[in-house]
Structures are given as structure tokens and as C-alpha cells.
Amino acid sequence: MKSQKKVLKRNKKMKVVRVTRTEFELDNGDIYPLPFELDHTPTIKEFNEIYANSRQIVETLIAQSKSKSFSINSPNEKDTNN
């Protein structure tokens, strides 16, 4: 029963409750820095949409990486896996 609660908690979609040009805060109290300073501070609604879309993209990439083999090479490096 305890593990089910962890799974449900992990799958809960977090909402952004505060955003600045340099960081954002989720409804669970976690604060994350942005990788770069924004030109303007988006509204919470705007940032929640960005956050939801970004999360979906990351989840899709993770799922793809579990089903395929990805090679990460620098642009000048030859792929020796093929």
C-alpha cells in the first residue's frame, strides 16, 4: 500500500505557483533555477503551459531512450556503434 502512494505521488502533475525571471516554484515547495534568465516574467498560467509541454517532451524522450539505443557523439566524432 505504501508503494502505491509513492507511485501516485510521483505521477502527480506539479503546478507552478511562483515564477521569476531566474527561477520557478512548484506547489510542493520545490524551487528550480532556470538555465538562463528570461527577458520578461511570464504569468503563472503561461509558465504552467511551458512547464507541462517541456515535461511531456522529456517523458517522450525518456520513453524513446528505453526502447532504442541512442549514441551521443560530438559533431566531429564518428559513430562507431553502426
C-alpha–C-alpha distance, residues 25 and 61, integer Å: 24
Distance CA 15, CA 45 (A): 10
Which amino acid, one-letter code, is at 39? D
pTM, to two decimals? 0.58
pLDDT, residue 75, reads 56
Band the pLDDT of 80: cuts 50, 70, 90.
low
The 10s digit of each residue's pLDDT in 19-63 is 999 999 999 999 999 999 999 999 999 999 988 898 889 989 988
